Structure 1
Amino acid sequence: MMNKVFGTILGFILVLLLAACANGRENLPEESKDTAGEESISQELTEVSIMLDWFPNAVHSYLYVAQEKGYFEEEGVKVDIQFPANATDPLNLAAAGKVTLALYYQPDVIMARANEGVPVKSLASIVRSPLNHIVFLEDKKIKSPKDLEEKTVGYPGIQLNEALLKTMVEHDYGDFSKVEMIDVGFELNSAIITGNTDAVIGAFINHEVPVLEQKAYDVNSFNPVDYGVPEYNEIVLITSDETWKEEKEAIQSFWNAAEKGFAFMKENPNEALEILLNNQDEANFPLDEEVEKQSLKVLLPKMEVGGTVFGSQDEEKWKEVRDWIYNAGLIESKPEVSEMIGHLE
Structure 2
Amino acid sequence: MKNKLMFLITITILSVFMLTSCAAETPKTEEESIKIDIVLDWTPNTNHTGLYVAQSKGFFEEEGLEVVIMQPPEGGAEAIVGGGGAEFGIGFQDYLAPNFASNTPMPITAVAAIIQHNTSGIISLKEDGIDTPSKLSGHTYATWNLPIELAIIEKIVQDDGGNFEDINLVPSTVTDVITALQTDIDSVWIYYAWDGIATKVKGLETNYLNFADYGKELDYYSPVLFVNDDYANSNPQIVKKVLSAVKKGYEFAIENPEDAAQILLEAAPELDAEIVVESQKWLADQYIADAPKWGYIDQERWDAFYGWLFENNLIEKEIPKGAGFTNDYLPE
TM surpasses 0.5:
yes
Q: Distance in 1 between matches of 2:198 and 2:44?
A: 16
Shift of 1:341: 1.3
Shift of 1:239: 1.5
Aligned to 2:142: 154
Shift of 1:222: 0.4
Aligned to 1:178: 166
- Give the secondary-structure state (helix, strand or coil) at the position aligned to 1:312: coil
Residue 261 (structure 1) aligned with residue 249 (structure 2) = yes
So what's the TM-score if we normalise by structure 2? 0.85
Residue 101 (structure 1) aligned with residue 88 (structure 2) = yes
- Give the secondary-structure state (helix, strand or coil) at the position aligned to 1:127: coil
Shift of 1:96: 0.5
| Structural mapping, 1:86-165, within 5 Å | 86=74, 88-115=75-102, 117-165=105-153
Aligned to 2:3: none
Shift of 1:138: 0.5
Flag structure 1 segments of 5+ consecutive residues without an equivalent.
1-25, 27-31
Match among 181, 199, 202 for residue 212 of structure 1: 199
Count of residue pairs the alignment pairs up: 304
Q: Distance in 2 between matches of 1:192 and 1:296?
A: 24
CA contact (8 A) 1:154 1:188 kept: no
- Give the secondary-structure state (helix, strand or coil) at the position aligned to 2:188: strand
Query: Quick one: which amino acid aligns to residue 255 of structure 1?
Result: L
CA contact (8 A) 2:307 2:319 kept: no
Q: Distance in 2 between matches of 1:46 and 1:337?
A: 34
- Give the secondary-structure state (helix, strand or coil) at the position aligned to 2:284: helix
Shift of 1:188: 5.6
- Where do 4+ consecutive residues of structure 1 move more than 4 Å? none
So what's the TM-score if we normalise by structure 1? 0.82
Structure having the higher Rg: 1
Aligned to 1:50: 38
1:16-71 deviation digits (Å, cap 9, x = unpaired): xxxxxxxxxx9xxxxx96xx84xx34x1x211110111111122111111111111
Match among 180, 183, 195 for residue 191 of structure 1: 180
When the two chains are superposed, the root-mean-square deviation of aligned CA atoms in Å is: 2.2
Aligned to 2:308: 324
1:116-150 deviation digits (Å, cap 9, x = unpaired): 52322111111122232100010101220101112
- Give the secondary-structure state (helix, strand or coil) at the position aligned to 2:193: coil
CA contact (8 A) 1:107 1:325 kept: no
Q: Distance in 1 between matches of 2:291 and 2:279?
A: 21
CA contact (8 A) 2:133 2:162 kept: yes
1:182-220 deviation digits (Å, cap 9, x = unpaired): 1123336133210x222112x121122222233321122
CA contact (8 A) 2:154 2:164 kept: yes
Q: Distance in 2 between matches of 1:331 and 1:160?
A: 9
Aligned to 2:284: 300
Aligned to 1:15: none
